[in-house]
Amino acid sequence: MKKLFATAALIGLGVLIAGNGAWGRGSGASLAKIQREANLYEIDQIEVNWHRSASTKNIDLFMSTWARNATATIAGQTYRGRAAIRAFFAKAAPFQPQNHWASDTATYKIHATVSGNSGTLYFECHYIDVDTGKVAATVGADQDVRKINGKWLITKLIASSVTLKQ
């Protein structure tokens, strides 16, 4: 719903600019800024879907954020392609039915960049055990992303450990 609202707002802004004859001097920079913000929003949706899928154990939603030939390096092991990445994460603790975890990250721990059809995304995953209220696991996700066929997808992930500050 949030994505639909933001997309509608961006389209409405574009129509408003066009309708008011704002295509004159300087409008290219304005449109480029709007496109950049839209791309950053779409890149951020990768993080949103990552945490939603881990919290609900929806591996299909999780895999919808990965490019066909993506790589994921976790604990020194590199997995290549969607099938290998899916096989790894399907067995990972957040997706196990016995773990009642909610997955989230603090907004200030999300960093995204965009340059044309390429970008980067970093966020930390904080997995909270719903039954105890304690942090069950944390991980950093450093990713390269790319717009492929109109959709932003992860092309490379390097996972890292993180330290939570008390």
Q: Around Cβ 78, how many Cβ atoms within 10 Å?
A: 12
pTM above 0.75? yes
Burial label for 120, CB within 10 Å (0-12, 13-18, 19+), is middle
Domains of the chain and any CATH numbers: 2-160 (3.10.450.50)
**DSSP codes, 127-150:** EEETTT-SEEEEEEEEEEEEEETT
Residue with tokens 């800024």: 33
What's residue 25's pLDDT?
53
Two tokens at 102? 């909610």
- Is the predicted pLDDT of residue 13 greater than 80, yes or no? no
pLDDT exceeds cutoff 80 at 139: yes
Per residue in 23-76, pLDDT (tens digit) is 445 567 799 999 999 999 999 999 999 999 999 999 999 999 999 999 999 999
